[in-house]
Structure 1
């Protein structure tokens, strides 16, 4: 079989995932449109403001096309979304997409640090637990994982804020950076901006402000990664292909690091892509607790201001980010995991 024909199953897999993602995004857009119609009240009155006169409300209704049939409104809504128009915020009078893009980098920074921290905690502990399976250490790790997996992120955030920040004073209680530092804003990511500015003191301060939110988010996700990776490692270590490796006299460390871990990491990477959306969603409450200026704070303010279009636009943006991230994770696994490529090739033959 030629190299070109061998690559076709992967292309078909990527095409199927892209098509399913487009359909998912279309479903999300449809759901958000339905929510705008299901919310009680007059859309034109909400957009015009509570103090608007009937004539002003009617003018807004015509300008927004709310006097058109529902099917026409849906078509226009989809067209606007395709052009990046998520509506206009009532409270800021700015396009919702512009508002979200200003605060999303801060949330992205928190999510990336949370993901890295979760993996740094979960991977070595899972390797050790699988190595000493059913030992006291393994049982203790499983108990801790169950406990951490059952803790709401906002409750852990409040507890960490009270104990580590308020009572012991080890870390800042809220905010993204101390008022003592003034750093040029380039990326909207406090840690990255301080690095670009070359201010190590400000960088250390930004990292200290990031520690508590990241730990509060990472506890739950580290527990999920630990459980998934431990189960995968145990299954790999008990599989047939490990037998000849042991027969060659390879050490257990070599078996674990060179053979078991690379083959067991795939489900964990997939889980990371799936949990990415949950991380962004959980950051809503955590950012509110710690006063970080991210998507969570933006959504909280929009809800308090009853800014319907800002809430729905932000939800649509986050949903799109999650869908795209899941596709990228699937394509990454297709590129690095030969078993997935073999499964796609086998499926195409059938």
Structure 2
């Protein structure tokens, strides 16, 4: 485990260094003059030169590169041209709202995709299997902004079941504790505000999850088919285990190992996909912050957003690897030259259920 963590940390450091290099190159090749943006649109040439000197833009490229990484190690992502505040402070204020949206979308994603994939695998080749795959593919093919507008039209405007935009109803406030509106309302004990925050979260979370449900559902289906065709599942069925126990305990538990990788990667992708969703539903988050930064030519805010999303993506992947180690004990075993014993091929719990059947087979 220690060797695994060390290897993952080294890999993560290399990835983050590469991300830092890419973002530094962005400062050199993207259109626009950071010094002009920092000095202001109506600044004189002398003021622009002073801003360039203050930002170190008049130094040689290698000096700028070293200074850039020096600031990154200190947690300095620069100062936003729009807010005149440190970019890291702006992102720290906007990120919790996006994390709340991503977690809600992932909850919807898993709650729909996993049962749908299991059901499709259990009914493979039948009408239910084909219908399930067509439905999730249609959800993935629909553009995010169009789906958001349709959901607003149907559930907010026509049916009046859910709020149209925002994060809380007009005139309602909750104390800021974590930055996640629903969590803050719950922690403060304001149940009406909690219900209001959740109702504002449903449509954007469903919109964000729609594009990712198809990937998880198809992965679960493919993995479940492979597991259900394996020898230990056949043995579990032969010993009289119920179909539900076979599918859930022996099938789903082993099929979730590759699925956990997809889900972990989707967390990072979802965080980057909040740009359109937050714009459509009028939510304040890192996606809306990035849109404003691009429209205002706020270079350091854009780069800071890219860096933070990259760091979150790397951290999530480390957590996913740890979850895989927990789900699959065989990954924790050192590689050996000897072939594994026959019992090792059984799923967790299958050998115990086989009991006498395995012993009789060994004797014969």
Determine if the TM-score, normalized by the shorter chain, exceeds 0.5: yes
SS in 2 for 1:286: helix
The structure-2 alpha-carbon separation of the partners of 1:84 and 1:348, relative to structure 1 and needing over 3 Å to count, comes to farther
Question: What is the match of residue 215 of structure 1?
Answer: 206
Unaligned runs of at least 5 residues, structure 1:
1-9
Once the two structures are TM-superposed, the CA of residue 348 in structure 1 deviates from its matched residue by 10
Unaligned runs of at least 5 residues, structure 2:
339-364
Question: What is the match of residue 141 of structure 1?
Answer: 132
Verify the 8 A CA contact 2:34 2:299 in the aligned structure 1.
no
Once the two structures are TM-superposed, the CA of residue 166 in structure 1 deviates from its matched residue by 1.9
Verify the 8 A CA contact 1:153 1:282 in the aligned structure 2.
no
Verify the 8 A CA contact 1:106 1:190 in the aligned structure 2.
yes
Q: Separation in 2 of the partners of 1:208 and 1:197?
A: 18
Q: Separation in 2 of the partners of 1:57 and 1:27?
A: 30
Q: Quick check: 30-39 or 55-64, which moved more? A: 55-64
Question: What is the match of residue 101 of structure 1?
Answer: 92
Question: What is the match of residue 345 of structure 2?
Answer: none
Q: Deviations over 1:222-270 (max 9, x none)?
A: 2211110111111000011212212211111111111111100011111
Once the two structures are TM-superposed, the CA of residue 76 in structure 1 deviates from its matched residue by 0.8
Q: Separation in 1 of the partners of 2:211 and 2:49?
A: 49
Q: Separation in 1 of the partners of 2:273 and 2:148?
A: 11
Question: What is the match of residue 331 of structure 2?
Answer: 340
Once the two structures are TM-superposed, the CA of residue 42 in structure 1 deviates from its matched residue by 3.0
Verify the 8 A CA contact 1:229 1:264 in the aligned structure 2.
yes
Q: Separation in 2 of the partners of 1:155 and 1:144?
A: 17
Runs of 4+ in 1 over 3 A off after TM superposition: none
Which protein is bigger by CA-based radius of gyration?
Answer: 2
Once the two structures are TM-superposed, the CA of residue 327 in structure 1 deviates from its matched residue by 1.4
Q: Deviations over 1:47-91 (max 9, x none)?
A: 211122222222222221122111111011011111111110001
Question: What is the match of residue 242 of structure 1?
Answer: 233
Once the two structures are TM-superposed, the CA of residue 347 in structure 1 deviates from its matched residue by 7.5
Once the two structures are superposed, the pairs formed by residues 41-56 of structure 1 within 5 Å of their partners are 41-56=32-47
Question: What is the match of residue 254 of structure 2?
Answer: 263
Verify the 8 A CA contact 2:254 2:327 in the aligned structure 1.
no
Q: Separation in 2 of the partners of 1:40 and 1:281?
A: 22
Once the two structures are superposed, the pairs formed by residues 125-204 of structure 1 within 5 Å of their partners are 125-204=116-195
Q: Deviations over 1:168-212 (max 9, x none)?
A: 222111000001322212111110111112111111111110000
Verify the 8 A CA contact 1:217 1:283 in the aligned structure 2.
yes
Q: Separation in 2 of the partners of 1:287 and 1:27?
A: 29
2:9 paired with 1:18: yes
How many residues are paired up?
338
SS in 2 for 1:346: coil
Once the two structures are TM-superposed, the CA of residue 12 in structure 1 deviates from its matched residue by 2.6
Q: Separation in 1 of the partners of 2:155 and 2:248?
A: 36
Once the two structures are superposed, the pairs formed by residues 320-331 of structure 1 within 5 Å of their partners are 320-331=311-322
Once the two structures are superposed, the pairs formed by residues 75-114 of structure 1 within 5 Å of their partners are 75-114=66-105
The structure with higher relative contact order (CA 8 Å, sep 6+) is: 1
Q: Separation in 2 of the partners of 1:233 and 1:138?
A: 13
2:59 to 58, 68, 78: 68
Q: Separation in 2 of the partners of 1:33 and 1:158?
A: 37
Q: Separation in 2 of the partners of 1:161 and 1:347?
A: 57
Q: Quick check: 202-211 or 295-304, which moved more? A: 295-304
- RMSD over aligned CA atoms reads 1.6
The structure-2 alpha-carbon separation of the partners of 1:20 and 1:228, relative to structure 1 and needing over 3 Å to count, comes to same
2:266 paired with 1:275: yes
2:102 paired with 1:119: no
